[in-house]
């Protein structure tokens, strides 16, 4: 049975969802003094509480009967976007991790048994962010919406010439077709960096955008930084198949310094530890498996572009994508990413 606190409690409101009573009892003991505490033993009970109460943070177990934690968080994302979402589970299975990224858009993915200090710190951070940042839905409705090119329709194959011009070079690649002045104005801040050595990935992205947006090709980190400096694109599609450690470090630092940049990670393989790392340290927006389909790619890019626009219009929301900062890098990585502070200033002054 759900346990909820009085509606007039001024403390941050935290909801724990777990089908194990002993876990709920532990959460009650740990957090009842600091927060307005709500406990639910099922997904349906949790959603009922969210409908009735302004919940700041929800922490859901994944493996529950009838409704999984990912499903609960997906419903909460739609019905209460201001609620910061955390998935806590003892079974870090691939579907749960991928779903927490693509469907639940979680703030953190924690595994049981989670050290009490880590759990406390994560919830405290999530509560501060929830109270400080305006709800996305409310913020969006208070401002005039900006148009985003529609990409979700089934794309037609790109002309052979356009695909040929998307072939890799030793530098950041310019758009395959020169856009008109009006299209350039529309696309400002809506470009896409494709960081991959895979020819097929570039071709699929070109097919997905159908010439409606500029696509910048990068095959190394220096080129990524150059594209960010010169073109200010809003979305980074990064292939984590090559040099995984370097790309993970780059993803984390990019989100730390340029939180408005929305990252889609792609890989031919799903690895639990890698994906959890990318959630907690990189706040990736989507994870897609290779080979990419142009339809799925178009849908994900459309959502990412919309999310980027929302962050630009509502800078108070960037804190909702705060990352666990990775260890400092040295050598080339440290030198290149040190330039991100100047890129941050450039973006801020634009």
Structural domain boundaries in the chain: 13-132, 160-349
Percent of the chain exceeding pLDDT 70 equals 75
68's tokens: 């999984």
Residue 80 has pLDDT above 90, yes or no: yes
Cβ distance 89 to 96 under 8 Å?
A: yes
**CATH superfamily, domain at 160-349:** Response regulator (3.40.50.2300)
Residue 25: predicted pLDDT: 95
- C-alpha 303/C-alpha 62 separation (Å) is 25
* b/e map 172-200, b = 16+ CB within 10 Å: bbebbeeeeeebeebbebbbbbbbbebee
Mean pLDDT of 34-40: 95
Residue 4: predicted pLDDT: 53
CA distances from 331 to 170, 247, 282, 335, 337 (A): 22, 14, 21, 6, 10
Per DSSP, the three-state class of 236 is strand
Range with the poorest average pLDDT among 102-116, 118-132, 144-158, 333-347: 144-158
Mean pLDDT of 320-344: 66
Residue 337 has pLDDT above 70, yes or no: no
Cβ distance 190 to 342 under 8 Å?
A: no
Mean pLDDT of 234-254: 86
Residue 138 has pLDDT above 50, yes or no: no
- C-alpha 73/C-alpha 60 separation (Å) is 7
Residue 238: predicted pLDDT: 94
Residue 317: predicted pLDDT: 82
The whole-model pTM stands at 0.80
Residue 314 has pLDDT above 70, yes or no: yes
Same fold, 13-132 and 160-349: yes
350's tokens: 């634009």
**What average pLDDT does the structure give for the chain?**
80
- Say which residue, 161 or 196, is predicted with more confidence: 196
Residue 274: predicted pLDDT: 87
- Say which residue, 338 or 162, is predicted with more confidence: 338
CATH 3.40.50.2300 fits 13-132, yes or no: yes
Cβ distance 41 to 18 under 8 Å?
A: yes
- Say which residue, 118 or 96, is predicted with more confidence: 118
Which long-range contacts link 171-180 to residues 24+ away (Cβ below 8 Å)?
171/223, 171/226, 172/216, 172/217, 172/218, 172/223, 172/226, 172/227, 172/230, 173/215, 173/216, 173/217, 173/218, 174/214, 174/216, 175/214, 175/215, 175/216, 176/206, 176/211, 176/215, 177/211, 179/211, 179/214
Mean pLDDT of 287-304: 94
Grade residue 27 by pLDDT with cuts at 50, 70 and 90: very high
39-73 pLDDT tens trace: 999 999 999 999 999 999 999 999 898 899 999 99
Mean pLDDT of 198-226: 92
Residue 300 has pLDDT above 80, yes or no: yes
Residue 63: predicted pLDDT: 87
Grade residue 270 by pLDDT with cuts at 50, 70 and 90: confident
- Cβ-count burial of 170 within 10 angstroms (0-12 exposed, 13-18 middle, 19+ buried)? exposed
């Amino acid at each position: 049975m759900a346990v909820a606190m009085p509606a007039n409690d001024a403390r941050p409101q935290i909801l724990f969802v777990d089908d194990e009573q002993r876990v709920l009892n532990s959460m009650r003991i740990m957090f009842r003094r600091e927060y307005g505490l709500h406990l639910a033993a099922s997904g349906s009970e949790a959603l009922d509480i969210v409908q009735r109460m302004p919940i700041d943070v929800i922490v859901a177990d994944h493996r529950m009967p009838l409704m999984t934690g990912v499903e609960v968080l997906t419903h909460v994302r739609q019905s209460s976007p201001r609620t910061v979402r955390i998935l806590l589970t003892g079974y870090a299975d691939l579907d749960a991790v991928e779903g927490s990224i693509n469907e639940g858009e979680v703030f953190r993915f924690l595994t049981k048994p989670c050290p009490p200090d880590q759990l406390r710190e994560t919830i405290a951070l999530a509560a501060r962010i929830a109270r400080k940042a305006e709800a996305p839905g409310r913020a969006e409705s208070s401002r005039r919406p900006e148009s985003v090119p529609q990409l979700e329709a089934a794309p037609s194959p790109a002309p052979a010439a356009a695909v040929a011009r998307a072939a890799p070079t030793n530098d950041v690649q310019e758009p395959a077709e020169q856009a008109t002045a009006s299209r350039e104005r529309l696309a400002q801040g809506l470009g896409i960096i494709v960081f991959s050595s895979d020819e097929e990935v570039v071709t699929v992205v070109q097919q997905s955008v159908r010439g409606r947006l500029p696509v910048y090709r990068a095959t190394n980190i220096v080129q990524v930084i150059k594209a960010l400096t010169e073109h200010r694109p809003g979305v980074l599609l990064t292939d984590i198949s090559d040099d995984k450690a370097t790309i993970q470090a780059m993803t984390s630092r990019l989100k730390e310094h340029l939180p408005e940049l929305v990252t889609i990670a792609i890989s031919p393989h799903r690895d639990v530890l890698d994906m959890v790392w990318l959630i907690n340290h990189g706040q990736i927006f989507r994870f897609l498996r290779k080979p990419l389909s142009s339809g799925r790619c178009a849908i994900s890019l459309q959502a990412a572009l919309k999310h980027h626009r929302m962050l630009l219009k509502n800078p108070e929301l960037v804190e909702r994508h705060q990352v666990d900062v990775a260890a400092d890098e040295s050598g080339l990585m440290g030198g290149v990413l040190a330039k991100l502070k100047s890129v941050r200033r450039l973006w801020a002054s634009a």
